[in-house]
Chains A and B, each alone.
Chain A
Amino acid sequence: MVMTRVSPRRRVPRMPRMSVLTWTGVALLVLFLLLALVGPLFASAPDARTGQTLAEPGAAHLFGTDHLQRDLFARTAEGARVSLLVAVAGVGFGLVVAVPAGLVAGYFGGRWPDELIMRTLEAVQALPLFVFAMFVIGITGTGDSQLGPVTLTATTKVVLLLGVGFIPYFARVTRSATLVEVQEDYIDALKVIGVPRRRIIAGELLVNVLPPVLVQAFLWIGVAIFAESALSFLGLGIQPPRPSLGNILGDATSYMLLGAWWYSIIPGLVILVATVGFNLVGDGLGDALDADGRH
């Protein structure tokens, strides 16, 4: 017997009129994405030397140069790309683990699988991300680590750390949405006609709880960029010479008082633009979803 989808088809969220803040977010996000995705195509190699130490921003070097004579535009663009990729991968990893966990927990709301999953995730959530990161990096070091046959690079470790840190939040949102969805009549109908539980969760519930989870995930990309930057700033994240917004900012702190204002301000601004941009756009998407829910 071929099953067809029986759940009520959710309307595609109709975009309400976007607020000025959302437009600002879109503009900031476009700026950041242009820098991160298009910037590296037009920039020199991020490690190439220009022959000028701490040169101010100008026509030759749009963002100036750093203390090792490297073009800061090239490094900031590459750093933004690395930070974005790490953030997206971290959020993606978090989603891959959290969504199934949240779905199962929500489906069995109040029963032992729900208790087991949620208490476990609360235990993970109780560990502050940075303390957890220091613990893991302290044991494994900042370089490559061997996990059986798999080599974990510093970048992979950051992705996994961020992902693990985000799992409880994503799982909670997924569970909440699932708890509401399982009250719907169509779920009872599916159970009555004998549709396997696995099919109900993966085929019906998943589709219907994804929109709020994805909006949440979008918001968390901004948080992930900020968290990655903070880890790299502390020397626990992306390792030199590979640039990331955080390690560029970390290097820059020693040169702020020597007059190299651009070295700190520019990567700092890029982090600000990214986090505020993702937050404002995520907020706008949330509004759109709420408006759709009200309809």
Chain B
Amino acid sequence: MTAPHGVPTFDRRRFLTMSGVLTAGALALAACGGTDAPKTGGGGEAKKIETLTFGITSISDYLNPLSTTSSRVHWITDPVVESLYTYDASLKSVPLLADGEPEISADGLTWTIKIKEGVTFHNGDPLTADDVVATLTFVTDPKSTSDWTAYFVGYVKGATAVDKRTVKITLTAPFGVLRSHLTNLPIVHKAFVSRTDTTMGTGPFKVDKVTQGQQVTLSRYDTYHGAKPALLGVVFQAVPDPATRMVNLREGKIQIMTDVSPESVGLLKQDDRIKVHEVAAPSDIMTYFVVKKAPFDNVKVRQALGHAMDRKGVSDIVYGGTASIAQGPIGPAVEGYDPALKIYAETPDYAKAKALLAEAGMSSLTFTLMITSDARMKNIGQVLVEGWKQAGITCTLEVLDIGPWVKNWAVGEYQMAMTGFESGFGAGRTAYTVLGSLSSLNPLNFGYKNDEVDKLLGEAWAATDEAVRAETCKKINGILAADAILMPPVHPRLIVAQRTDISSLDEKLMGVSRISLPAVRSV
């Protein structure tokens, strides 16, 4: 059929016919495709890797490690910046930019720290006490809206430079956990503390190029004060889709990927070019109730929810059985974990849940669970909703992007909230991130007040002895589990996959969420 001017017409009917034919063709091709068989062995010449490519879910527009404790930012900046103290092979805090142990006054209110000599930033400026003071001043200022503020607020009064190489930190109360915070807090060049586009530190790699939202390129800092890394550079590439990240890893386009979906672990393990690390790390599922409002002001209602929670379902279905069943908020990689604590069964106890609801004077319960929009949270949410349904509990999921989620969470505009968080970069092995908001004085407190918990939290954060702090946190964990406050269904593991043509990543350091890139070399 031709139009009067000789131009072929293309009516909707013909379009639909052609669409149908093309779709059928595409489906036939897809059906013939099948899945990529896992590769074993591998042909081709091994190529020395000088620049490593790291596949990451997203590249934040704000590349300032002092603004956030998120691992998405810190995985990128960790090779660039360093802290006063660092973790040794047994995860013990040892001096790095500090020259020796801090001098703590007898009353515990003053910490004096000497700075190591001969350390330079990537622009050649020497590291001085002023840089440490600038960093501490920035993170303790509530106006900076930094995640780090919550780690120091109420305790750190201020920091001053005694001389070029000495910093004095004054506290309002003894704060032994400060050692952990100083082991995690990066020290940034004083001119860069509030910059969001890039950062400058003293680490073995320096930032070369930032393509916002897409890629960050690092290159080796040749005058680094420590052992020189073998790699010449590292490229962090945003690959949001986990399946695409996995394909890129298998094809060698990236050498390391984080946020490996548990479903793909089996497939990756079949490939002898890939090594998968599944490590118990401070990887938390944070759950919150607004305790000052009904129905969760009633402990029996919260307990009912806890007994009807399908923890095993979440572990088996969402995490392929790799996550450990949670009793309280503190997980196995964090100080205060209590493996002996048994309050809730692995599988839901619906009879007990119904009995508790009846004791609370309720025959049913309806509430909204506010979750973040990532696939993992949606999966956990759906498993929980289905489990609760069996106990006559109706839960509606409210799925929000992280921005609105945080906004609602910060002002208590929710009934129950849940998100995932890797707290290793902020709190190390301490339970500070998990428990911090429980203090009735904490600005993020959501209505929970328990004098015993307040007292124990004070003791835990004051303790300089890790064993004492762990024992105190264990007691808090037990109280919270019984009170059904902060009730994660499971404690997930950190799953990282790497190619075997680079040296194995240090699993010990993954225990505090670190990926030891400076130690990586081509093999």
Contact = CB atoms under 8 A, between A and B. Distances in A.
Contact of A276 (B19, B381, B398): B19
A69 interface: yes
B263 A255 contact: yes
Interface string B392-427: 000011111000100000000000000000000000
Interface stretch (A47-55, A80-88, A185-193): A47-55
A50 to B, nearest CB: 11
Interface string A235-253: 1000111000000000101
A49 B263 contact: no
Interface in A92-150: 141-144
A288 interface: no
Interface stretch (B58-66, B145-153, B184-192, B243-251): B243-251
B381 A240 contact: yes
B35 to A, nearest CB: 4
A121 to B, nearest CB: 23
Interface string A241-284: 10000000001011111110100010001001000100110010
B156 interface: no
B241 A253 contact: yes
Contact of B264 (A21, A69, A143, A258): A258
B12 interface: yes
B27 interface: yes
B382 A240 contact: yes
Interface stretch (B230-238, B383-391, B441-449): B383-391
Contact of A235 (B16, B31, B379, B399): B399
A255 B247 CA distance: 12
A283 B12 contact: yes
B227 interface: no
B30 interface: yes
B399 A258 contact: no
A259 B35 contact: yes
B383 A279 contact: no
Nearest to B242: A254
Given A53-B317, A253-B241, A283-B12, A67 B379 contact: yes
B450 interface: no
A67 B27 contact: no
A257 B244 contact: yes
Residue of B243, B313, B381 ringed by the most chain A CB atoms within 10 A: B243
Interface residues on A, range: 20 to 34
B20 interface: yes
A143 B396 contact: yes
Given A251-B375, A276-B16, A269 B27 contact: yes
A257 B20 contact: no
Interface string B357-374: 000000000001010010
A68 B382 contact: yes
Nearest to A47: B386
A235 B382 contact: no
Contacts of A265: 27, 30
Interface string A205-222: 000000000000000000
Nearest to A142: B399
Nearest to A153: B396
Contacts of B382: 47, 68, 240-241
Main secondary structure of the interface of B (DSSP, over half): helix
B368 A143 contact: yes
Contact of A241 (B244, B263, B385): B385
Contacts of B389: 47
Contact of A279 (B16, B30, B34, B370): B16
Contacts of A279: 12, 16
Contacts of B375: 251, 254
Contacts of B30: 261, 265
A122 B42 CA distance: 61
B397 A255 contact: no
Given A141-B404, A258-B264, A276 B20 contact: yes
A22 to B, nearest CB: 10
B386 A257 contact: no
A24 B33 CA distance: 28
B482 to A, nearest CB: 30
A143 B398 CA distance: 5
B13 interface: yes
A143 B241 CA distance: 25
B261 interface: yes
Contact of A142 (B27, B383, B386, B398): B398
A265 B389 CA distance: 30
A257 B247 contact: yes
Interface in B206-248: 241-244, 246-247
B243 A49 contact: no
B17 interface: yes
B23 interface: yes
A259 B381 CA distance: 25
A283 to B, nearest CB: 6
Contacts of B370: 143
Contacts of B398: 141-144, 239
Interface string A19-51: 001001000000000000000000000011100
Given A240-B381, A241-B397, A269-B27, A254 B243 contact: yes
B72 interface: no
Contacts of A141: 398, 400, 404
Given A47-B386, A49-B317, A279-B16, A68 B396 contact: no
A254 B239 CA distance: 13
A241 B386 contact: yes
B243 A255 contact: yes
A240 B378 contact: yes
B267 interface: yes
A21 B13 CA distance: 8
Nearest to B37: A259
A283 B243 contact: no
A231 to B, nearest CB: 13
B311 to A, nearest CB: 15
Nearest to A67: B263
Contacts of A48: 386
A257 B246 contact: yes
Contacts of B12: 279, 283
A21 B385 contact: no
Leading 10 A-B pairs by shortest Cβ distance:
A143-B398, A259-B35, A257-B243, A241-B382, A47-B386, A142-B399, A240-B382, A254-B243, A241-B385, A68-B317
10 contacts: A53-B263, A67-B263, A68-B379, A68-B383, A142-B398, A240-B378, A240-B382, A241-B381, A258-B267, A265-B30
Given A68-B318, A68-B383, A261-B33, 12 more contacts: A21-B16, A68-B379, A141-B400, A142-B399, A143-B396, A144-B396, A240-B382, A254-B242, A258-B264, A265-B30, A276-B19, A276-B20
